[in-house]
Amino acid sequence: MRFRTRAIHVGNERDPQTGAVVRPIHLAATYIQPGAGEWGEFDYARSGNPTRAAVEATLASLESGAGALAFSSGMAAIHCATMLLEPGDHVLAGTDIYGGTYRLLHRILDSAGIGVTLAPSTDLEAFEAAARPETKLIWVESPGNPLMSITDLAACAELAHRRGAMLGVDSTFATPVLTRPLELGADIVMHSATKYLGGHSDVLGGALVVNDRELYDRLYFIQNATGAVMGPLEAFLCSRGIKTLELRVREQCRTAARLAELLAADPRVARVLYPGLPGHPGHEIATRQMDGAFGAMLSFEVAGDFLAAKTVVESTRLFQLAVSLGAVESLIEQPAAMSHASYAPADRAAHGISDGLIRLSVGLEAFEDLRDDLGQALAKATESS
């Protein structure tokens, strides 16, 4: 079955009891067992739930994995992956990562005795130079957040394995429609299901997908022991969202590409960061690594400073001023003040996240309406400067 068909059918087989074409939402917290010490397929909702199992089956199929685990949030999923590490181990992460991941690495992991280094994963020589003998996990995002940098995932997997480390990829921006990191050699792929998988800004969730059963068992143990599982209502909403994932993502990418071109030609815009633009430093890798499109996230810098960017993000009417991304409605935000406010200011500057940077999540509205909305917001910023 093709990707789009699997998104609809895998995990969503007809309900055996009623024949319903949509699987019911199972809310039961506990399950009657065949006997004392004899376990049925499900026993307690933290350990397993049919609605969650359904979305996990779909995700494993879409990411070409052997197993998937659904979590209460993307951060819970990342935290679970990092719990594979022990004190004394080291994590090497890309510089272009979600602010919450940066906070988890710097404020939670390092106080647990795990070393953390951030280095540019787009420059593999510099990246490898930052690795240590005790590096056990390499963590990257591609496209990265918020600079849309592209990391060569196959090369990173080779680097990680040569050094005896695992490669984890936060593939939230790419979605399995555009990139399937496990096929490129990654060990763990992670999603904030809050974004494209759910797709409608109405669910908080996360996922890990792996292609090794032993690694799956270790992660399952941690998830069950710590308890940050995805609830049944969220699992249902994710399953529903995933059925239209490919259609949504491809259409959103088309609009994003047109907006990126438009912004790149606009004299009020200092630079546009979108891997689909031929001038983007990661364009060539993205062409190879991403399946026919370059994502629906893009960032740009307005000439000027923090205040000019603040005026733009506060002046759009259709692009709503909010963090998060990946849903049908378009969003706009200023990373320095919002999604990446948890970065130390010096790190933000060192990693190229300027005060004038604006990040767009392009939704499913008509291109013309989004174009006009950005145009009037840029005009306001120019007037007030």
Ligand X SMILES: Cc1ncc(COP(=O)(O)O)c(C=O)c1O
Q: List the catalytic residues.
A: 46, 98, 170, 195
Return all residues near 375 (Cβ < 8 A) that are at least 6 apart. none
Closest residue to ligand X, based on beta-carbon distance: 74
Give 145 or 211: the residue with its C-beta nearer to ligand X.
Answer: 145
Q: Is 194 in the site for ligand X (CB under 6 A)?
A: yes
Give 147 or 269: the residue with its C-beta nearer to ligand X.
Answer: 147
Q: Is 206 in the site for ligand X (CB under 6 A)?
A: yes
Q: Is 100 in the site for ligand X (CB under 6 A)?
A: yes
Helix axes 367-384, 245-264, angle to 10 degrees: 40
| Choice from 53, 55, 75, 286 touching ligand X (CB under 6 A) | 75
Task: Give the number of residues in contact with ligand X, rule: CB under 6 A.
Answer: 15
DSSP label at 44?
B
| Choice from 141, 152, 251, 301 touching ligand X (CB under 6 A) | 141
Instruction: Give the C-alpha separation, 322 to 345, whole Å.
Output: 21
Cβ at position 37, least distance to ligand X in Å: 37
Q: Is 148 in the site for ligand X (CB under 6 A)?
A: no
Q: Is 234 in the site for ligand X (CB under 6 A)?
A: no
| One character per residue 318-337, x = contact with ligand X (rule: CB under 6 A) | ------x-------------
Mapped to the 3 state alphabet, what secondary structure does 246-272 carry? HHHHHHHHHHHHHHHHHHHCCCCEEEE
Q: Is the dihedral of CA 73, 85, 353, 126 positive or negative?
A: negative
The answer to whether the CB of 303 falls within 8 A of the CB of 268 is yes
Give 50 or 205: the residue with its C-beta nearer to ligand X.
Answer: 205
The answer to whether the CB of 369 falls within 8 A of the CB of 318 is yes
Give 42 or 173: the residue with its C-beta nearer to ligand X.
Answer: 173
Chain Cα centroid distance, residue 293? 16
DSSP characters over 273-336: E-TTSTTSTTHHHHHHHSSS---SEEEEEESS-HHHHHHHHHH-SSSEE-S---SSS-EEE-TT
Q: What is the CA radius of gyration of the chain?
A: 21
Q: In what order do the strands lie in the sheet with 166-170?
A: 67-71, 206-210, 188-192, 166-170, 135-141, 90-94, 115-119
Q: Is 170 in the site for ligand X (CB under 6 A)?
A: yes
Give 172 or 289: the residue with its C-beta nearer to ligand X.
Answer: 172
Give 64 or 324: the residue with its C-beta nearer to ligand X.
Answer: 324
Q: Is 146 in the site for ligand X (CB under 6 A)?
A: no
The answer to whether the CB of 91 falls within 8 A of the CB of 85 is yes
Q: Is 96 in the site for ligand X (CB under 6 A)?
A: no
Nearest to 22 by CA among 244, 236, 234, 248: 236
Classified as helix, coil or strand, 355 is coil
Task: Select from 54-62, 69-77, 146-154, 296-304 the region that touches ligand X (CB under 6 A).
Answer: 69-77
| Choice from 12, 49, 61, 73 touching ligand X (CB under 6 A) | 73
The answer to whether the CB of 259 falls within 8 A of the CB of 144 is no
Q: Is 171 in the site for ligand X (CB under 6 A)?
A: no
Q: Is 58 in the site for ligand X (CB under 6 A)?
A: no
Cβ at position 93, least distance to ligand X in Å: 12
Cβ at position 366, least distance to ligand X in Å: 25
Task: Select from 68-76, 121-129, 151-159, 216-224 the region that touches ligand X (CB under 6 A).
Answer: 68-76
Residues that bind ligand X (CB under 6 A): 73-75, 98, 100, 141, 145, 170, 172-173, 192, 194, 204, 206, 324
